[in-house]
Structure 1
Amino acid sequence: DVYLNKNIPNSTADMLRGILREEKDVENFVRAIDPYTLEFNLPKPFAPFLGILASPILPKHKLEKFVKEGTFMQAWNVNTNPEEIVGTGPYKLKRYIKGQLVEYEANPYYYRKDEGGKRLPYIKRRVAYIVQDPDTALLMFSTGKADYHGIRPTDLMTVVRLKEVSLFDLGPTPSTTFLVFNQNPQADIPKYKLRWFQNSQFRRAISMAIDRSGISLLVYNGLAQPLYGPITPANRPYYYEELFPEIPYDLKTARKLLEGLGFSDRNKDGWLEDPEGNTVEIILLTNAENKERQAIGNMIKEDLEKLGIKVIFNPIDFNALVRRLTTPPYQWEAVIIGLTGSLDPHFGRNVWHSSGTLHMWNPRQKTPATDWEREVDELFDRASSVLSREERIELYRQAYRIIAKEQPLIFLATPKSMVGARDKFENYFPTVWGQYEEEYMFFK
């Protein structure tokens, strides 16, 4: 009633859409055998299915009325009484102070117990602070108000000086940061700009004008490496060193590519014009709360202006940015933003498949707008329906190579993922994908 509801957009539906294409497939999809057993009937083999079953089980007694009324998307919000929010995890929500903190207490009905029969989790109370400014968050960690904290490369020297604190280098993050241009024909942007952005050679020229090594060094203190494709070294086994060809930082070649498309400074004012005489001017957005993205934006602005491209760089509130990206009239031209990555590539289907809600440069296409998007769609669909691990890996690699070649997203850099934690915990095992078995954590 929720995940397969056409009126409730969600990533689980995007992931299942590759297999449940006909109404009869949905109708026959699942049935209850007894109160604790479900039977799923899939119309064909579907390799990622068990992973998709990790989608949360939702409480019918709390949410059914909102589904029937068509108000599910507004059911739980920041003004909801915490007692109304019911889940199945190790903790339940006890208190929420808007813009300040969330307090959790152990769920007395949580199903997991340790080997001795003691109910998990061991730690019975947790507080998560909501802090917009990363410098303030670092100060809270440094002064002992917080017990563990994600460490930016710029925080490193501060953290290594702290006593009774351990620093965990988790390796390259699976998250990607990128520049994306709006290619959506329905978007509220000038049509001549749409033609620029839809041209793969224009995007390649922009990509060649970005100094990824400089970003890695100056923004991330050298604790990052250039990124040229949609996955990072954290995405084993799909990533390998030669998967994506390096895109050199080469302003001269980038300028030649643009000239080959008819861009030139016709009126000698220092800025390029397109073949129709329109000044090449781009409004670039990012979220104002992220200092790294702001620094990247300033570097990109400087490099593109060396090419003769005028850039108006405008950091805005994150929620306002997401609304522009994901909802009509899609009023944006270029954005620096990121994706968190996923263990199984199929869980990124809503980004890479042309029908996906997060196919952000041109979302929710009824039919693929380009031949290369059609090819990526076919590769993702095939990879989900074969059960051979080796075959799936190769199919996804083929799709990633196409994406890297076409540059719908211009990938920038992969920083290290680091966490600082006070030396007060046992069974604390952080990874780039989250904490391992965090229910078993306890205090020394």
Structure 2
Amino acid sequence: MRSIVPSAEVLSRHYALVSSLRAQGFQVRDRAEARAAAGDIHLLAEGELATAPARTVLLGSEGRTLAPFRDGAPARVAFGAADAAVGNGFVRALVGGPDLPTAADPESLALFALAERVARSDITVLINGPTGTGKEVLARAIHMNSARADKPFVAINCAALPETMLEALLFGHQKGAFTGASSGGEGFFRAAHGGTLLLDEIAEMPLNLQAKLLRALQEREVIPIGASTPVSVDVRVIACANRDLQAEVAAGRFRADLYYRLSVFPLATRPLAERREDIPALAATMILRHAGNRTSVPWPTAGALDKLLRHDWPGNVRELENVIQRALLFAAGDTIEAEDIVFDRPAQPVPANDQPVAKATLGNIVQIHEFQAIRETLAECGGSRIETARRLGISERTLRYRLAKAREQGEDITRAAQNRMAQA
């Protein structure tokens, strides 16, 4: 597990950032008690130390600055409360790397926390969700947080492989087993031995092959084409689908027994349009990923961010990455302007005041902790919203929205309790 070591000043000024990193799986270590360990990244407020360790992110509170790790020097990120959403995203990308899962939406944070918990076991996982919503990213996160992290991670797309060759590619074959088999092949199951095999677009697998996959999962062995003796395999299988497999079962296109064997622990990714709080964090991660060797990494302006938030994202996260790469090409200076944001087609605009309706999901667990932190900080600040927002590293507008959301959730809970009492 990656660790961060924040100073007391950072904990005071950037509580929301540290809390978000903890929710994304980072271990937060106490600076006074922590001994230097490989992989630790220190978070210091700018000016705290004359000489900072190399693996340090210096946090400033004025202007817009991003200087990544280079030549052994600390990274530096400076931003005000109005830029907290993007600034926190840049810090997360610097601390965890641009290829780790990124989230800021409460339900997304809850999903990654649940995936981390699932990773500790060895059960089969089924990930459902629309194309381009990060199913493979989630699968890789499960692998990297598991005991199999140092073993192979093999990802295959069942829809992209020729149906006539899929069995041989999955289970392997012996020399001469079929025309053109001039040599043997181990297959993806044996290639992933000891590690994780990701079966993407599992709904596209032919019915006759589904039965053989079921046997491989149940018996933990495969029979290569042309062989008569099974070969034991130690593989964790994660399956992904962009269609409702239960509906596929009902339509006779997917075996019910295989569905229940795969769906030991189902997870679901949501369309990007339903988790808009992730957009600034994802945009920051992608800007850092594709900025190359720029001496100054550009920041999206409020207008650019508003344009991203209003888009309907039919292509989900993949479309967002395309848009960010274009914006980096068009951006002339240190900022990404609204005119640098170019979409493939006109968007179906989302009203500025449109907010997702609260759902009774694991995301509420994260929201409860968030509301608790806001209430405690508000009490410490004597009810001052300005000081509370400053300490939490968010804007006053965001603070007002969070408080309103907390009240709405409380009213929903009260109404639900009243309804239960009336029914009783």
Normalising by structure 1, what TM-score?
0.26
Task: Give the number of the structure with larger relative contact order, counting CA–CA contacts within 8 Å between residues 6 or more apart.
Answer: 1
Greater share of strand: 1
Normalising by structure 2, what TM-score?
0.27
